[in-house]
Structure 1
Amino acid sequence: MINQTTNVALCFHCGEPNPSGSAFSVNIKGENQQMCCPGCEAVAQTIVDSGLTSYYDHRSENAEKGNTLVPEQLSQLLHYDIEQIQEEFIKQDADLSEITLTVEGITCAACAWLIEKQLRQLPGLHFINVNTTLHRVVIRWYKDKLKLSEILTDIQKVGYKAYPFQINQQEALYTRQAKSYLRRLGLAGIATMQVMMFAIALYSDLFSGMEEEFIHYFRWVSFLLATPVLLYSAQPFYVNAWRNIRNRTLGMDIPVSIALLGAYIASAYATIMDTGEVYFEAISMFTFLLLLGRLLELRARRKASETSSNLLRLLPSMATLIEKNTESLIPAKTLSIGQIILVKAGETIPIDGIILTGISNIEESMLTGEHLPVHKGENSPVFAGTVNITSPLTIQVEKLAKDSLIADIIHLQDTAQQNKPHIEVVADLVSRYFVGALLIVALCTYIGWSLIDPAQAFWITLSVLVATCPCALSLATPTALTCATANLNKQGILIKQHHVLETLNKINHMVFDKTGTLTHGDFVLLNSTVYGDYSKQQCIDLASQLEKVSEHPISLAFNKQQKSSVILSDVINLPGKGLQASYQGKALKLGHAQFCNIDKPLDSKELVIYLTLANALIASFELGDTMRKSAEKISQYCQDNHIQTTLLTGDISAKSEEVGQLLKLGNVVKGVTPEGKLTHLQILQETQQVLMVGDGINDAPVLAGAHVSVALASGTDVAKNSADVILLGEDLNKIAVLRKTAQKTTHIIKENLGWAIGYNLIIVPLAVTGHVPPYIAVLGMSFSSLIVVSNSLRLLK
């Protein structure tokens, strides 16, 4: 490869000049290609040995200069295999590990292709996705077959540097993007003001009495002012257009780039040859308004991630560790499970944990959106980022930073935005077809006007390209969805699946679990009756020991009453039925009457569970629970909006009917197993659109199977993993807020699409017939995009 200007040999890999006497080369497709250094030689040889030489055919830019991994760098990569280091940035799911990497040096789609092809050869790799826009790579692998250091080393072998993605780097990237747009916008704005002064004077014919050379002089000044706008400010449009062309797709920046370059070349020709009209003011104004729209779009798209970053900023960097009755300040991220910390009044809690001593009010609005402090005492859970208001607390660490509620929230937000909802996919597809149709219309316009009036053909075609607005079509849906998601996050409503806002508009039936959903799930042991030789306390101890393996709220009622441990074996939890184990060689059961084979259940409005040993009844327990204050509100909302309701619960007691009557629910189905709940839901969904609300392990199948499902943050991990939406806090009325926001989002998307389509249907015929001059076309196209983005930003209120 030779530089045609200087006649100097260039490195085939990175494009830098080869030093004189350089002997580095690699045989690529039968030809010896010269390299500038051993680093580039090593990277190129790796690409050839891996069978990836097609990279050099498809790349649009030279690669980054190769750097050979030296022993010191290799040892640094090996550090990433240390478990304590991995805890901060790796998500574990059974035997799969997941990490998001930031990769330096990605310039085009060929880079993404090369990285993916290289890593897919590694044994143990499960999934890889390279995002060329964000320069990030998501990787999942089997930890027993592959090491993280091997992944990082393989990426480095093909010429790229990768390291674990951190949220502060995301913020830094956003800051760089925003600053870049502001610099380009500032230059375009200054140039536009200057050029417009000359243009207005020329259009007003104020220079009619001035000599021709002065008019020509002002055209040259406009030419010089518009040139940096075209070359620098408008650069993002050319890059995107070239990327679209290279990947054989049609994007909105293709007609934009054609219009900008066409107007500039024609105006430059008119200035140099001193003939025809110039439109430098249209070029500058068009670029300025487009950049303004892109900047607003960037801000709207980043709102959700900004919310995540703001959550992380609330976490304190230091924590007060208590060890051997001494206090010491240590970095909060180094805390491990089981350690004890002191949080004074007014301080922010640095981790998720359990209160050991102290009683205080906790401000949890940053998580739940509810501003009233929550009163908490011993054994109450607390979460990182919440504020201790009134009294000092000693807290035991229950979760590491990467597993905290805040970390889960951020992970859910990222997951929700990985896929596009159907309406956005359709809008993107329509916008691509629209671009294709626009280019055809522009070509036909040019041919037609060349026959009618050749002098006007170019400028009318330019107006057609500029006036039409595929940008508004592409922005209509994503900006609205992003703003709606960000607003819901602030109110403690986390959307996990991309289809939720779209599907919620069709919901006409809500199904509720009872225990822990419509009721608090804070069970209290009201009455205990014994029937055999065991004492009341012995029966409570047996029941408490059984409940230790259960996440059901009932377990808390027994745990508070237990006084001595009991040795059990073969403990089994059967969700929706009860628990069973072996005690002194006999079968021990705790659960509903049917599960325990009780012929004559107690007649009680409260929940009754039974304890049997070797099929003989030895105790019964009555448990009380209280209704959530918000249950009545959500029930009333359903009635007001003609939404059918069903109570679907595994509880067989009369309490189910009492709750159903009190809340005026349309149907009560009680005493059903998890499989029975799913069967009932599937029958409903044959004719209706159903939203399911639950919180327990026995709700997981129906939450996964419903059209839309909602789980409470206080529920089990299984329920939250199965649900589409998670509600932070205890306010069920947030479901009404969620549905109202979904309806408003759909309404705004329809407004955006209606405006974008209506504007184009009106402006295209006017532009084709020559009734829209280029400077009016610039204003119309730019304001069309701004109207769509501004309309979407209403969802942030």
Structure 2
Amino acid sequence: MSAVLAPCACFHCGLPVPAGSRWSVDVDGAARTMCCPGCEAVAASIVASGCADYYLNRTEFAAPADLAALAPPELVLYDAGAATDDAVSDAVYSVDGIRCAACVWLIERRLRGVAGVRAADMNVTTGRLSVSWNDAECRPSTILGTLRQIGYAAYPFDPQRHGEQLERERKKLFRQLFIAGLSMMQVMMYALPVYLANDGTMDADMTALMHWASLLLTLPALLYSAQPFWRGAWIGIKTRMPGMDVPVALGIAAAAGGSIVALLRGEGDVYFDSVTMFIFLLLGSRYLELSARRAAAGALENLRHALPAAAARMALFPASRRTELVASSALQAGDVILVRPGEAVAADGIIVEGDTDVDLALLTGESRAQRRAVGDELPGGAVNTGQPVLLRVTRAARQSTMALLVELVERAGMGKPRIAQWADRVAAWFVAALLLFAVAVWVAWHLIDPARAWQVAVAVLVVSCPCALSLATPTALAAATSRLLRSGVLVVQPHVLETLHRATHIIFDKTGTLTRGQPALRAVRLFGAAARADCLALAAALEESSTHPLGAALRAAASGPRREARELRQTAGQGIEGVVDGVHYRLGSATFAGAEHPEAGAPSDDASLVFLAGPAGVLARFELADALREDAADVVRQFQRRGMEVILLSGDAPALAARVAGQLGIARALGGQMPEQKLAFVQALQAQGAVVAMVGDGVNDAAVLRAADVSFAMGGGSDLARMHADCVLMSNRLSDLGDCAQTASRTLAVVRQNLAWATLYNTCAIPAAALGMLNPWMSSIGMSVSSAVVVINALRLRAKD
């Protein structure tokens, strides 16, 4: 029997709800009031995991939910439907309370020690945790319970809730920063006169009054603004995994405690101004870091929200043009939808009526509107900026281009490259070494000058906080991947930039990669008196409604006003005929057009020939072939200048592969390669010590893309290729690959700069503090400036060249 809910009681735990409560969760279609954010988090997690029936079957209310400790019975609800065999499961969770890179290190290290957990990767940029586990040894409740034990609340990832949580964290951090800044300014008003009164102009009573006022004004910063440091330090000590919050909290506590003792004794120095300054500056650097992380995650989240929730479907088209509003998820292939101006396309489709301009910036990074007409494809997520069009859906929304990109986004950034892992390990050992060093410094100064021992130890703790060291890599990688995404490059795996920078060989597929993968007009041969432009216009008129790739190529090549063809009749596999301006024309194969002309010529091995004939005979021959991308030669030369060996690896005929390689200046080309041969070739290079980058687009490239050290898939390629690649060129521009290589070089340079700065700073600052050359307030400024320099330097990567 379900528990009975009293009026104004929490739906989850049954306790009274405070007046003006803003916490609520939708359960069974109704908004249920909660008494606190802890109950809200638990209830939302239960509903999100599909276990809302818990509330119908419970016999008593749950215990009040604390974000730091969730009751085991509630955690078990996450195990509903879990497998019982040896299958491997994975899930993505949102984690609250991520404060710095040390939090990521703590979470990953703790979870990887849980029996059955195969992988745990925390993305500090997005606040998401990806976990893989063996169902026979581990359950979701074990994972979530482990996180709660170390002070982190986690729940199944939900974009809306995750965004709201990030916004709440930002607002709370801003309030803490504001209070700390206010306290710092007020304390300075009382501390400054004391500093200036060195000539005895201020008596002892007035000095004591100033110090007591400083203490009272410091309390808000200590009790409220410094909460993140107290909480983080306590978790680190409790779990025996000290993070960066431990030296910070010890420094604050030591400075504040020593000042209070000196104030009570009436002798010694007080550092309330240093305490408030330290708290303010450190919170300021954290707020800057949080802003950088949110900016980097924003571009990824925009992809997630690009598809509209509903679409206007014409169920009876063409018999009726009446529309009905349906969920985008309900769209199926063959449905016809109306896309109005200003609306986003709900699913991939082909325009069947109307022409318009579309904004593809979110998908390709192209800021200029693109013209689309009848027969053109539109991807889901494109925004209609022109006229209304009718679109015939080609793939269900869940299989659309945008859905695939969202799936790739889920994988993006869920791990860390080796250089980031190295920085995290160094930071972890650095904290432990720092604590021991601070104790040693205190002992040494206690023997040399006991009056200064406390001050020097505090300065060491404050100045040496390893924030800059841990922020050096993740902030640079986040800024770089955000900048690339805005240009139409989706970095899926974390090692892309690092590995591309180290690559010794880059291998290109031919069709669809170095070439467009679709025919284009290469040459026109005229056999009569008609002009070239007239022949192309006639061919375009006959092919106006054709969906054949050759027809599309002829339409694209024609210029000037379009003509209209009537009485069209198509012969399968041969061609099309019709009347243009009262004259009958035929367009198609040589036999269909009657092109038994002695000068018709034999087709080349890589071209298709289409003939245009009129009443007087053959007028023109159109030679169409897969054209090279305009930027292919520049990209090849760019990688050659970088010292990389460029190789063409294709399944096409060796002669054709060699011809394309010659046009692009590629010295080594292998044609006629089957998928298994491509894979063996790459593995052979790797066995010789090569670091291989692979660029492809087809289904037959999936295996070799997965095997390469770093791989890139063209955005217009097959879904399988994109799913197996480490990076997707959503813009379908090969030039973006060159941009990615330049960004990789810049990113690694910034990472090295950041690490060098952090190392140089600690090498200089720590000895200076240990020798008594820095006061606590000077240490506060130094530590905060060091962290800010790292973040600001990394943010330079977000700017386009």
Both proteins in one fold, TM over 0.5? yes
Change (3 A) 1:257 1:445: same
Task: Please state if 1:512 is matched with 2:508.
Answer: yes
| Equivalent of 1:744 in 743, 746, 766 | 746
Distance 1:466 1:137 in 2: 30
1:436-585 equivalence runs, <5 A: 436-523=432-519
Change (3 A) 1:430 1:128: closer
Match of 2:331 in 1: 336
Distance 2:98 2:255 in 1: 32
Aligned residue type for 2:203: E
Aligned residue type for 2:332: I
Deviation at 1:373, TM superposition (A): 3.3
Task: Please state if 1:255 is matched with 2:269.
Answer: no
Deviation at 1:400, TM superposition (A): 4.2
| Equivalent of 1:416 in 412, 417, 422 | 412
Aligned residue type for 1:193: M
Task: Please state if 1:606 is matched with 2:606.
Answer: yes
If the length of structure 2 is used for normalisation, what is the TM-score?
0.71
Distance 1:153 1:322 in 2: 49
Task: Please state if 1:210 is matched with 2:218.
Answer: no
Match of 1:688 in 2: 690
Task: Please state if 1:321 is matched with 2:322.
Answer: no
Distance 1:736 1:410 in 2: 24
Query: What do you get for the CA RMSD once the two structures are aligned?
Result: 4.5
Change (3 A) 1:760 1:652: same
Q: Which secondary structure state, in structure 2, belongs to the residue aligned with residue 786 of structure 1?
A: helix
Distance 2:326 2:262 in 1: 66
Match of 2:675 in 1: 674
Aligned residue type for 1:381: E
Indicate conservation of the 8 Å contact 2:308/2:328, yes or no. Answer: no
Aligned residue type for 1:279: Y
Match of 2:214 in 1: 222
Distance 1:632 1:99 in 2: 43
Mind listing any 5+ residue stretches in structure 1 that lack a counterpart?
Answer: 1-13, 18-38, 44-58, 82-89, 528-551, 566-601, 610-621
Match of 1:176 in 2: 168
Deviation at 1:706, TM superposition (A): 1.4
Aligned residue type for 2:347: I
Distance 1:303 1:106 in 2: 16
Change (3 A) 1:750 1:151: closer
CA displacement, residues 610-645 of structure 1 (integer Å, 9 cap, x when unaligned): xxxxxxxxxxxx972111112122123124333322
Q: Which secondary structure state, in structure 2, belongs to the residue aligned with residue 522 of structure 1?
A: strand
Compare 339-348 and 285-294 and name the one that shifted more: 339-348
Match of 1:734 in 2: 736
Indicate conservation of the 8 Å contact 1:207/1:215, yes or no. Answer: no
Aligned residue type for 1:748: V
CA displacement, residues 507-564 of structure 1 (integer Å, 9 cap, x when unaligned): 232211111111111147999xxxxxxxxxxxxxxxxxxxxxxxx999999xxx9967
Indicate conservation of the 8 Å contact 2:248/2:465, yes or no. Answer: no
Deviation at 1:415, TM superposition (A): 1.4
Mind listing any 5+ residue stretches in structure 2 that lack a counterpart?
Answer: 1-12, 17-41, 47-65, 524-547, 554-568, 574-601, 610-622
Deviation at 1:694, TM superposition (A): 0.8
CA displacement, residues 403-430 of structure 1 (integer Å, 9 cap, x when unaligned): 4333333332331311111001110111
Aligned residue type for 2:292: A
Distance 1:180 1:739 in 2: 39
Compare 277-286 and 321-330 and name the one that shifted more: 321-330
Indicate conservation of the 8 Å contact 2:608/2:625, yes or no. Answer: no
Q: Which secondary structure state, in structure 1, belongs to the residue aligned with residue 752 of structure 2?
A: helix
Change (3 A) 1:553 1:169: farther
CA displacement, residues 22-79 of structure 1 (integer Å, 9 cap, x when unaligned): xxxxxxxxxxxxxxxxx9xxx9xxxxxxxxxxxxxxx99654597899xxxx9xx99x
Change (3 A) 1:327 1:102: farther
Change (3 A) 1:305 1:278: same
1:598-677 equivalence runs, <5 A: 604-606=604-606, 624-652=625-653, 654-677=655-678
Task: Please state if 1:309 is matched with 2:301.
Answer: yes
Match of 2:178 in 1: 186
Q: Which secondary structure state, in structure 2, belongs to the residue aligned with residue 650 of structure 1?
A: coil
Distance 1:201 1:229 in 2: 21
Distance 2:677 2:163 in 1: 47
Indicate conservation of the 8 Å contact 1:359/1:391, yes or no. Answer: yes
Match of 2:789 in 1: 787
Distance 2:132 2:393 in 1: 28
Identity %: 37
| Equivalent of 2:158 in 158, 161, 166 | 166
Indicate conservation of the 8 Å contact 1:604/1:653, yes or no. Answer: no
Indicate conservation of the 8 Å contact 2:695/2:713, yes or no. Answer: yes
Distance 1:187 1:267 in 2: 20
Indicate conservation of the 8 Å contact 1:335/1:397, yes or no. Answer: no
Distance 1:433 1:512 in 2: 43
Distance 1:427 1:68 in 2: 34
| Equivalent of 1:281 in 264, 268, 273 | 273
Match of 1:698 in 2: 700
Change (3 A) 1:366 1:743: same
CA displacement, residues 394-451 of structure 1 (integer Å, 9 cap, x when unaligned): 1123444444333333332331311111001110111112112211221111111111
Indicate conservation of the 8 Å contact 1:521/1:554, yes or no. Answer: no
